[in-house]
């Protein structure tokens, strides 16, 4: 038993002392077999230390640590490496010097601030809406006239736009003596919008144009065209592409000798682009 233990210790000591390591002297491709292929397994950097497993001519089988797969085995050409025994591996024998004073921390540089971005606004807005018109005057008195409204606005800034507006309202006479009335208005002018919120945009506008009023009683018709002013306002509620509009306007139509007030309410959809 004592002789066997002695032999085992001798074998282990001999194996440990015979263990070799390879130090990479030139960036060394590592291959899966003892032959060069277009794509090596890894390339060992200069200074890498690999454990030698065996040799075969100009090739050396080594064990290396793959950063992704862990310990692996491959082959490297002898002229890329320097072989050293376990006992004679090179060590750093230099005398340490006094540690230099750490460099002064760099002064933080001022981060340039981004310029203030302008308020986004649509270049064009198109309204398709439903119109309700109430007329109160000596020349014309209509309780309610339903119709349509279309407007197009070109915005030159977040708060200023130029509007073109067209509307048609119609009222059918209740009796044979009551005329059928059609009122078409075409106006244009500036619009002022407050775009403080991306969701709700209130606005005010002052439009000027003309109104064409047509009457028809039993197939006999008549019409007239008069100068018109139409101040008003409202609010758009939506997003950058589409919104719902609610608006109200006071319209003054200057019929000859009898200026008449009209009140218009509009609900519709605004398409933005």
The pLDDT of residue 214 is above 80: yes
pLDDT value, residue 63? 93
Q: How far apart are CA 62 and CA 22, in angstroms?
A: 8
Q: How far apart are CA 66 and CA 71, in angstroms?
A: 6
Listed in order, strand segments (DSSP E) in the chain are 20-24, 28-30, 42-44, 49-56, 59-66, 70-77, 81-85, 124-136, 142-155, 160-171, 180-193, 200-217, 220-238, 242-255, 258-272
Q: Residue 13: which pLDDT band, with cuts at 50, 70 and 90?
A: very low
Of 57-71, 134-148, 192-206, give the lowest mean pLDDT range. Answer: 134-148
Under 8 Å between Cβ of 272 and 243: yes
pLDDT value, residue 24? 93
Rounded mean pLDDT of the chain? Answer: 84
| Residues with Cβ within 8 Å of residue 173, at least 6 apart in sequence | 179, 180, 181, 217
Estimate to the nearest angstrom the gap between the alpha carbon of 9 and the chain centroid.
72
pLDDT value, residue 105? 75
The pLDDT of residue 149 is above 90: yes
94 by DSSP, 3-state: which? coil
Q: How far apart are CA 181 and CA 171, in angstroms?
A: 5
Q: How far apart are CA 181 and CA 173, in angstroms?
A: 8
The pLDDT of residue 115 is above 70: no
The DSSP string of 20-89 is: EEEEESS-EEEBSSSS--SS-SEEEPTT-EEEEEEEETTEEEEEEEETTTEEEEEEEEGGGEEEEESTT-
| 78 φψ region: left (φ > 0), alpha (ψ -120 to 50), beta (else) | alpha
Q: Residue 103: which pLDDT band, with cuts at 50, 70 and 90?
A: confident
Q: Is the pTM of this model over 0.85?
A: no
């Amino acid at each position: 038993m004592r002789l066997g233990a002695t032999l085992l210790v001798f074998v282990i000591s001999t194996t440990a002392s015979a263990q070799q390591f390879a130090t990479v002297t030139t960036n060394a491709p590592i291959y899966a077999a003892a032959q060069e292929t277009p794509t090596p397994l890894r390339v060992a950097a200069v200074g890498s230390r690999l454990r030698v497993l065996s040799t075969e001519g100009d090739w050396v089988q080594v064990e290396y640590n793959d950063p992704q797969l862990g310990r692996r085995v491959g082959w490297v050409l002898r002229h890329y490496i320097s072989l050293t025994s376990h006992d004679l591996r090179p060590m750093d024998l230099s005398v340490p010097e006094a540690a230099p004073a750490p460099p002064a921390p760099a002064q933080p540089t001022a981060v340039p601030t981004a310029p203030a971005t302008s308020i986004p606004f649509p270049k064009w807005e198109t309204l398709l809406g439903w119109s309700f018109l109430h007329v109160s005057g000596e020349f014309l008195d209509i309780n309610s006239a339903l119709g349509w409204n279309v407007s197009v606005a070109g915005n030159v800034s977040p708060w200023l736009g130029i509007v073109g507006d067209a509307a048609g309202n119609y009222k059918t006479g209740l009796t044979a003596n009551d005329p059928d009335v059609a009122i078409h208005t075409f106006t244009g002018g500036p619009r002022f919008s407050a775009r403080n919120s991306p969701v709700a945009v209130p606005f005010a506008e002052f439009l000027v144009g003309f109104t064409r009023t047509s009457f028809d009683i039993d197939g006999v018709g008549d019409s007239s065209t008069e100068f018109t002013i139409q101040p008003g306002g409202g609010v758009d509620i939506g997003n950058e592409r589409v919104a719902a509009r609610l608006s109200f306007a006071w319209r003054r139509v200057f019929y000859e000798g009898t200026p008449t007030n009209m009140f218009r309410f509009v609900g519709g959809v605004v398409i933005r682009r």
